[in-house]
Amino acid sequence: MAAEMDEGFVIYINGMRLNTLRALPHWLVANWKVAKMFRELEADPDSGFLGYTPIFLGLRKGAAMQYWRSLEDLQRFATDPNGSHIPAWKWYNETADPDGGLGFWAELYVVDGDSFETFFRNVPPIGVGKFARMVPMDEHERRLGLSPDGSTQKSTPSQESVEKRA
């Protein structure tokens, strides 16, 4: 199977790192706050939040790969004065991180509808597959050449995109 979407989406990856053992209580509270945000976002279909996948990076590090309908949706959530994000950041800046014991990092990617490729074999839909349209691989137009069988047949998205825009 492959995931297809006509429109693009946003991937936002953010994570935490426990830098010192004495920051463990803050790390636990931060995880609770993040889980609360995800529950709130999942309960609001108008938020633009499509879902997330937890990422285990070791005993002191973890992250979440988030999927958003648009950059505007993500920005609206991050700057909402009535939402849970601003108070969580205020708590982190003022309480949890006076000595650098708990670190945060983030990456943001805006994905055009023609610039991603997926395949799923012997797994339930995960990641993009949770919110995209799933189609059998033999009905899927491979844009970037990713295939489960190792073949290299692909279309050239940059050329097709140029032709579509012309």
Closest by CA to 30, choosing from 105, 110, 80, is 105
Give how far Cα 91 sits from Cα of 26, 37, 112, 114, 161, Å.
Answer: 10, 14, 34, 39, 45
pLDDT (average), residues 147-154: 58
pLDDT (average), residues 11-37: 95
Residues recorded for the chain:
166
Residue 153 pLDDT exceeds 80? no
How high is the pLDDT of residue 149? 63
Domain ranges of the chain: 4-111
**pTM for this predicted structure:** 0.82
Class of the domain covering 4-111? alpha beta
pLDDT band, very low/low/confident/very high, at 114 (cuts 50, 70, 90): confident
